[in-house]
Amino acid sequence: LAMLLCLQVEHVVQESPLAFLAQLLNEEDIEQKPLRFVSERLRSLLRTLEVTDMQDFSPLMLVADFATLLATYQKGFCIIIEPYDERTPTLHDPLFQFCCNDASIAIRPVFERFQSVVITSGTLSPIDMYPKILGFEPRAVHSFSMSFARNVICPLVVTRGADQAALTSKFDVRSEGSTVRNYGKLLLDTAAAVPDGMVCFFTSYSYMQEIVREWHSMGILKQVLKHKLVFIETTDVLETTMALENFKRACDC
């Protein structure tokens, strides 16, 4: 009942686990300690009842998992409630998220299970920051410099679009028409100037789908296709692998 009431929001709400637990105690008289065992006890009950089709109880198990996580972790987590999906802002479709903001909590089981862990990436910079974020003491740290036969890196920070409007990806303005149009114009101008492959990065799949849809309706993608083939990443591993192979093949042509 408390979760259903929370979903009746008209704007984005962020709460701490402690605040949500306090609300449960005041309104539903549910204490924190019993919630820690809800998930385990529900699964034990289903096994005792010899339930075979667990899929029928997956929504209930999801709520039980949330209750256990909520009662177990108070630090490094937050609750975010959104009144609608950003892809359909006119449709009331609330989204309830329990978000982990502390990367050390997520990687801790890896360190506990395995004796040796190797973390490697081309973007671990500054390298001394990651042990602090992930909460571990590295035994060995090595950094290798990158070498190029010629100067191929030219970092640019673009703050304004072609119409001099502010260019930003802030959540509250990133879907505005001028922002979408200016990013599309920047992509088009870059595609016309860069002789080889390009990669356009988005902060999320949903935002990518929204912007690609807008660029298509504006005719921007049609103009980009005059200069480049367009390959779009999806959540499907096979589709993304094929898109990556085709992208490499197009760059080599």
In angstroms, the first-to-last Cα distance of the chain is 59
Q: Are 111 and 117 in contact (CB under 8 A)?
A: yes
How is the chain split into domains, by residue range? 2-101, 103-147, 177-252
Tokens standing for residue 187: 């992509």
Across the chain, the runs of DSSP E, i.e. the strands, are: 13-15, 77-82, 95-100
- What are the Cα distances from residue 167, in Å, to 86, 170, 173, 247? 20, 9, 9, 28
Q: How far is CA 168 from the centre of its chain?
A: 18
pLDDT the model gives residue 111 = 92
The confidence score (pLDDT) of residue 75 equals 85
Query: How many other C-beta atoms can be found within 10 angstroms of the C-beta atom of residue 213?
Result: 13
User: pLDDT tens digits, the chain, 253 residues: what are they?
Assistant: 566 666 677 778 888 888 888 888 887 778 888 888 888 998 899 889 888 888 888 888 988 998 888 888 888 888 888 887 766 667 777 888 888 888 898 899 999 999 999 988 877 778 888 898 898 998 888 887 777 667 767 788 888 888 888 888 887 778 888 889 999 999 999 999 988 888 998 888 888 988 999 999 999 999 999 999 999 988 888 888 899 999 988 888 7
**Contact between residue 179 and residue 173 where contact means Cβ atoms under 8 Å apart:** yes
Location of structure tokens 């016309």: 192
Contact indicator for 39, 65 with CB cutoff of 8 Å: yes
For position 27, what pLDDT does the model report? 76
Smallest CA-to-CA distance from 225 within 216, 217, 233 is with 216
pTM assigned to the model: 0.49
Residue with tokens 């899929």: 55
